[in-house]
């Protein structure tokens, strides 16, 4: 394994106190409704986000796809930014599972405005799919870890409501967004019908996400979770890790953001490396950069970095991503910048 793993914030391992909490968790059979740790987590995350009910699921992809399956009917259309996670990283699931198509919206860094929403909504016509759901991703991964301004999200939500669209927030890294922007999770998602959040990214739990929303909606999603094979049995081990993460790992996210900014500044001065977005616009825990031709393609560059003990992942032919998280070692920025200097020499 590399000494510095910046491929994703999903690579974290449970801390020793988190492991202790996992081992102390009371266990039951969650599918039968008697795993008290899972029930506690579902109530906790629903209350934190100001919604009626929550559902613990294995992954963020499942949480998003359950939301789509419950909001939509086959033949409906989803409005989402063209760089969204549900388009690029969920294996075509909206079409395969729910029979839905996605109308991609445009906007800088994964964000769009109310006019883009209004312009994409279909007229009611037997020839067209029905505009049914708006999906907003916060933070936005392929946008560079960008953060939605609260008023901009409220404006696009209002535009969606004008046309009776449901609203789902893909909040896999919502707590990062809140740490960066200063709003609370509940405040941001107030205008959303449903929200997914991930515990195994910046919060450092080993497995799991949650879907929250109205109680009848979540009851319906629970049935589809079972249908898709997401019903877990003695999953209180995992729920306890998520509870610990919510209680102990939210405030420290600002440290990851600061390290990301420091890394962006450190590599921005290296010839043939263009940080995009630039260091001054780094908002959360991600750093993206483009390689000049002299450094080869992204895969080759990542291979050279790996030989220097630093792991990152290609995000395109010349685009690379680095992600800060709670498991990065001390002096990560200095050591990574030094590895860059050697890999670009």
CATH for 333? 3.90.1150.10
In Å, how far from its chain's centre is CA 162? Answer: 27
Extended strands (E) in 220-326 = 273-275, 286-291, 310-311, 313-314, 319-323
> Same domain for 29 and 151?
yes
Burial 289-302 (b: 16+ CB within 10 A, else e): bbbeeebebbeebb
The domain boundary residue, chosen from 224, 248, 272: 248
Tell me if 13 sits within 8 A of 327, measured CB to CB: yes
Let me know if residue 1 belongs to a domain: no
> Same domain for 148 and 214?
yes
Residue 113, CB half-sphere, CA atoms under 13 Å: how many?
A: 2
Render pLDDT for 327-336 as a digit per residue (tens, 0 to 9): 999 899 999 9
Model's pTM, two decimal places?
0.97
Query: Does residue 249 have a pLDDT over 70?
Result: yes
Mean pLDDT of 287-303: 95
> Same domain for 240 and 292?
no
> Same domain for 259 and 189?
no
Render pLDDT for 169-180 as a digit per residue (tens, 0 to 9): 999 999 999 999
Tokens matching residue 29:
């059979």
> Same domain for 280 and 178?
no
Let me know if residue 8 belongs to a domain: no
CATH for 52? 3.40.640.10
> Same domain for 164 and 278?
no
The domain boundary residue, chosen from 215, 248, 281: 248
Q: Which residue's entry shows tokens 């690379």?
A: 320
Let me know if residue 260 belongs to a domain: yes
> Same domain for 29 and 137?
yes
Q: How many domains does the chain have?
A: 2
Q: What domain range is 232 assigned to?
A: 14-248
> Same domain for 171 and 303?
no
Query: Which residues are CB-neighbours of 304 under 8 A, at least 6 positions away?
Result: 343
Let me know if residue 9 belongs to a domain: no
> Same domain for 271 and 144?
no
> Same domain for 234 and 280?
no
Give CA separation, 107 vs 104, 114, 115, 142, 333, in Å.
10, 11, 11, 12, 31
> Same domain for 178 and 285?
no
Render pLDDT for 137-155 as a digit per residue (tens, 0 to 9): 999 999 999 999 999 999 9
């Amino acid at each position: 394994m590399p000494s510095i793993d910046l491929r994703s914030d999903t690579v974290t391992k449970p801390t020793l106190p988190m492991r202790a909490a996992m081992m102390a968790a009371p266990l039951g059979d969650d599918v039968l409704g008697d795993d008290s740790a899972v029930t506690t987590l579902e109530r906790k995350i629903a209350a934190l986000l100001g919604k009626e009910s929550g559902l613990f699921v294995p992954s963020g992809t499942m949480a998003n796809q359950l939301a789509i399956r419950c909001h939509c009917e086959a033949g409906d259309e989803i409005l989402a930014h063209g760089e969204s996670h549900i388009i690029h990283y969920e294996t075509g699931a909206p079409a395969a599972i729910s029979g839905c198509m996605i109308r991609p919206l445009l906007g800088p860094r994964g964000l769009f405005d109310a006019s883009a929403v209004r312009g994409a909504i279909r007229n009611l016509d037997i020839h067209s799919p029905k505009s049914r759901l708006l999906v907003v991703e916060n933070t936005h991964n392929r946008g560079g870890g960008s953060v939605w301004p609260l008023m901009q999200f409220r404006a696009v939500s209002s535009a969606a409501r004008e046309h009776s669209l449901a609203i789902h927030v893909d909040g896999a890294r919502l707590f990062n967004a809140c740490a960066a922007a200063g709003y609370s999770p509940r405040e941001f998602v107030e205008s959303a019908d449903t929200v997914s959040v991930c515990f195994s990214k910046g919060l450092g739990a080993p497995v799991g996400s949650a879907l929250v929303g109205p109680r009848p909606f979540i009851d319906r999603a629970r049935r589809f979770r079972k249908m898709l094979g997401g019903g877990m049995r003695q999953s209180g081990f995992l729920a306890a890790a998520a509870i610990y993460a919510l209680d102990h790992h939210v405030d420290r996210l600002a440290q990851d953001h600061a390290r990301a900014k420091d890394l962006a500044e450190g590599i921005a001065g290296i010839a043939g490396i263009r940080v995009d977005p630039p260091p001054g616009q780094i908002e959360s825990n991600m750093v993206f950069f483009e390689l000049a031709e002299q450094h080869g393609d992204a895969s080759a560059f990542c291979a050279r970095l790996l030989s220097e003990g630093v792991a990152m992942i290609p995000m395109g032919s010349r685009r690379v991503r680095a992600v800060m998280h709670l498991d990065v070692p001390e002096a990560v920025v200095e050591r990574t910048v030094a590895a860059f200097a050697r890999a670009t020499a």
